[in-house]
Amino acid sequence: MKLDEMGLVCAGGVNQSFLARSPAVLSRLGPIKASSYRVARQIANTLRAGEAASHYSVLEPCPVIWIFLPEGGLDRALRELVAQAVLGKTMVVLCDCVRDSLALDAFRTTGARVASLNPVPGSRERIFVAEGHRDTLRMLRTLLAEDRRKLIELRPGTKPLFFAGVHVGAPLLLPWISAGMACLRAAGFTRSEAATVGEVLGDQALRSYVRAGAKAWNRQTAATLRQALENDLPSIRSRNPRLAALYEQGIRLALAAFHTDSLRKAVGSG
């Protein structure tokens, strides 16, 4: 499959995206369409690839069109693209898009082979996830492999689960990490000591789960936490009600989740 002269529809932020660090894409880049010809020319100069386009129709011959736009401006730009260019079976890649490829009405009657592509946070742009048309996924796997990057294909309709996994695995843990650090500090640890212990415990918990899945949770763990509910909470509450409330909530959520195995039943085995 010849992929030369691929198109790009973008805003200025593309200069900071993974596309700007993808030799496999940049070496094949052709027309670039932005909010204006001037902006498109600036982007081409910064990327040192492609050439500015003044109209979406210039993208018609492109075998692949990359879309990198802010979520708020995505629908309008896609409507303009579809209105001004005949896409046929063009492969269209939505980059860093929260929605999946089926959630965009603009492409429903075009015949375009649409997929979405997102880097996995924390992977240093070495691991990507994608969903959408099979042909476009095959093309993405080939291009990413050229840059020594890995592609993980999402099951249809599961992109929200991907983001849930990312959020639960990172930002949603921050309140609990903060609470753990605060408890250690209140017990007499320095910030550095608390951080060291927190890092060790977090790494140990993750490694245990990777090895054993939900079996990493056992009766002894559950018994210890129930005992903490009965014996330790009053003392913690007298010192810091906010920490006590967060601690209690975390214990009760964990006991409920692993007692009923509800997480695994809901989304599949861990």
Please answer whether residues 45 and 169 qualify as being in contact, where contact means their C-beta atoms are separated by less than 8 angstroms. Answer: no
Is the four-CA dihedral 249, 251, 257, 259 of positive or negative sign?
negative
Assigned domain for 40 exists: yes
The length of the chain is: 270
CATH code, domain carrying 86: 3.40.50.720
Residue 41 sits in the same domain as residue 79: yes
**In angstroms, rounded to a whole number, what is the distance separating the alpha carbons of residues 38 and 46?**
12
Q: Which residues pair with 127 in a beta bridge?
A: 150
Per-residue pLDDT tens digits for 219-244? 888 899 999 989 999 999 999 999 99
pLDDT at 139: 97
Nearest CA among 87, 112, 115, 110 for reference residue 100: 115
pLDDT at 267 over 90: no
Per-residue pLDDT tens digits for 35-55? 999 999 999 999 999 999 999
Residue 192 sits in the same domain as residue 154: no
Q: Which residues pair with 52 in a beta bridge?
A: 32
Range of the domain at 180: 170-267
Assigned domain for 190 exists: yes
**In angstroms, rounded to a whole number, what is the distance separating the alpha carbons of residues 21 and 252?**
45
**CA-based diameter of the chain, in Å?**
71
Q: Which of 32-41, 129-138, 170-179 has the lowest mean pLDDT?
A: 170-179
Residue 146 sits in the same domain as residue 252: no
Assigned domain for 98 exists: yes
pLDDT at 269 over 60: no
Regarding beta strands 127-132 and 113-119, do their DSSP bridges make them parallel or antiparallel, or are they unpaired?
antiparallel
pLDDT at 64: 97
**How many domains are there within the chain?**
2
Q: Report the share of the chain in percent with pLDDT over 70.
A: 96
**Average pLDDT over every residue of 70-79:** 91
Assigned domain for 15 exists: yes
Average pLDDT along the chain: 91
pLDDT at 263 over 90: no
pLDDT at 260: 53
Q: What residues have CB less than 8 Å from 64, skipping those under 6 apart?
A: 3, 6, 7, 90, 91, 92, 93, 136, 139
